[in-house]
């Protein structure tokens, strides 16, 4: 159990370090990758997911996402007593990973004067604020993510191919559905860094847009529950 919990911590740490690392590189001023665009961000996040899963996959199931953990438990493939420890490890990993992003890009954070840009390197936010639309975006993206992960489990894939496929899936979801909210798909990926945003001493950081913060938490969980329901309904297993 401790090995699995450490795997969730380490994997989510790497996920945030590399995922929000690419966001910081694109958004913050005076980096060599500044303004390189949304496609670079989606590619970076896809690679981050794959690397994090490859590293942590031999330690545990490499969920790295509370919504996926809840979905797997609902599906019957994870004991419920493991859910809370996994989720706590994922949040801890996300927060430490985000702190490392801050250390890496500290001079660039100090050079940034736009609070929205600073927050965007920590957590997601909508391009246009619309509660229903934003919630649907997170539900749909996570639904596709979790359903596809479940479906991949039906195939006898060569070692590592499924992990690569999930990384590619993250790129695809980002390109197709992520442009509206920044596609959190993962409560720990959003809320953990948002908490760090409140704690870290960054000039011009503004507030954490806490009125929006529930959407990237609730939306992914709903999406995962729906994926479990559809997976069971159509007897895909």
The pLDDT of residue 106 is 98
Q: Which two tokens stand for residue 84?
A: 């809370």
Q: pTM of the predicted model, to two decimals?
A: 0.96
Nearest to 189 by CA among 38, 48, 1, 6: 48
Give the contacts of 224 (CB within 8 A, at least 6 positions apart).
67, 68, 70, 71, 74, 142, 143, 146
Determine the angle formed by the axes of helices 131-152 and 161-177, rounding to 10 degrees: 160
How does DSSP classify residue 200? Answer: S
Ranges of residues in the chain with a pLDDT under 50 are 236-237
pLDDT at 156: 84
What is the Cα–Cα distance from 126 to 8, expressed in whole angstroms? 28
**Distance from C-alpha of 91 to C-alpha of 16, rounded to nearest angstrom:** 10
Residue 236: partners with Cβ closer than 8 Å, 6 or more residues away: 150, 151, 154, 230
pLDDT tens digits for range 114-149: 999 999 999 999 999 999 999 999 999 999 999 999
pLDDT of residue 234: 74
User: 2-233, what's its fold?
Assistant: Glycerol uptake facilitator protein (1.20.1080)
Spatial distance between the Cα atoms of 181 and 142, rounded to a whole number of angstroms: 12
In three-state form (DSSP H/G/I as H, E/B as E, the rest C), the secondary structure along 20-77 is HHHHHHHHCCCCCCCCCCHHHHHHHHHHHHHHHHHHHCCCCCCCCCHHHHHHHHHHCC
Domain locations along the chain: 2-233
pLDDT of residue 154: 86
Q: Tens digit of pLDDT for each residue in 60-87?
A: 999 999 999 999 999 999 999 999 999 9
């Amino acid at each position: 159990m401790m090995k699995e919990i450490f795997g969730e911590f380490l994997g989510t740490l790497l996920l945030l370090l590399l995922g929000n690392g690419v966001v910081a590189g694109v958004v913050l001023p005076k980096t060599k990758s500044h303004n390189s665009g949304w496609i670079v961000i989606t590619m970076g996040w896809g690679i981050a997911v794959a690397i994090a899963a490859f590293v942590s996959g031999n330690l545990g199931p490499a969920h790295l996402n509370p919504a996926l953990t809840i979905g797997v438990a609902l599906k019957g493939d994870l004991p419920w007593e493991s859910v809370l420890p996994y989720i706590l490890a994922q949040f801890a990993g996300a927060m430490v990973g985000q702190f490392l992003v801050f250390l890496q890009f500290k001079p660039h954070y100090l050079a940034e004067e736009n609070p929205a840009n600073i927050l965007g390197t920590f957590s997601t936010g909508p391009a246009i604020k619309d509660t229903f639309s934003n919630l649907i975006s997170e539900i749909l993206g996570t639904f596709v993510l979790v359903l596809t992960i479940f479906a991949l489990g039906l195939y006898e894939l060569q070692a590592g191919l499924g992990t690569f496929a999930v990384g590619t899936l993250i790129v695809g979801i980002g390109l197709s559905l992520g442009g509206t909210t920044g596609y959190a798909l993962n409560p720990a990926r959003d809320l953990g860094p948002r908490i760090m945003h409140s704690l870290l001493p960054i000039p011009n950081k503004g507030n954490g847009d806490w009125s929006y913060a529930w959407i990237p938490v609730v939306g992914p969980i709903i999406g995962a529950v729906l994926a479990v329901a559809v997976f069971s309904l159509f007897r895909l297993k």
